[in-house]
């Protein structure tokens, strides 16, 4: 199966988002976010990367699982950023967080059609 440009773009955005969360596991006490949020962000980054690999390899039975991992981990990651908009932190941090949330949502939207495509491939008689 040939990957669409939208799917590849979504996978790249999600992979970058997942990779961006990994440094928070190495040093969870840096930055304005609480340690718990940093650790959760790092774990969700790992889950996202696992999902990206599953979708990239495109084994029909695993694509649905990969998309689910990406969507759930990225949405939880975006939700974990919401309290930052109400915290007393510099505007630059808030702007960076807003950009991150938008990129996360775009990445999720771009990979969602892969789940349906994989389901249709497995359902169609060969």
CA 37 to centroid of chain Cα atoms: 16
* Integer CA distances (angstroms), 108 to 2, 34, 46, 99, 122, in order: 19, 25, 16, 14, 22
Q: By the 8 A CB rule, do 89 and 67 touch?
A: no
pTM here?
0.86
pLDDT for the residue numbered 2? 74
Q: How do residues 41-97 score in pLDDT, each as one tens digit? A: 999 999 999 999 999 987 666 888 999 999 999 999 999 989 889 988 889 989 999
Residue 29: DSSP 8-state: T
């Amino acid at each position: 199966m040939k990957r669409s440009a939208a799917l590849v773009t979504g996978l790249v955005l999600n992979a970058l988002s997942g990779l961006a969360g990994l440094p928070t596991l190495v040093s969870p006490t840096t930055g304005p976010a609480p340690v718990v949020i940093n650790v959760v962000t790092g774990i969700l980054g790992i889950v996202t990367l696992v999902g990206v690999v599953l979708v990239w390899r495109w084994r029909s039975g695993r694509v649905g699982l990969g998309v689910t991992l990406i969507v759930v981990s990225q949405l939880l990651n975006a939700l974990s950023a919401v309290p930052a908009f109400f915290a007393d932190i510099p505007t630059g941090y808030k702007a960076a967080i807003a950009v991150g949330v938008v990129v996360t949502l775009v990445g999720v939207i771009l990979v969602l059609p892969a789940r349906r495509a994989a389901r249709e491939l497995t359902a169609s008689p060969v």
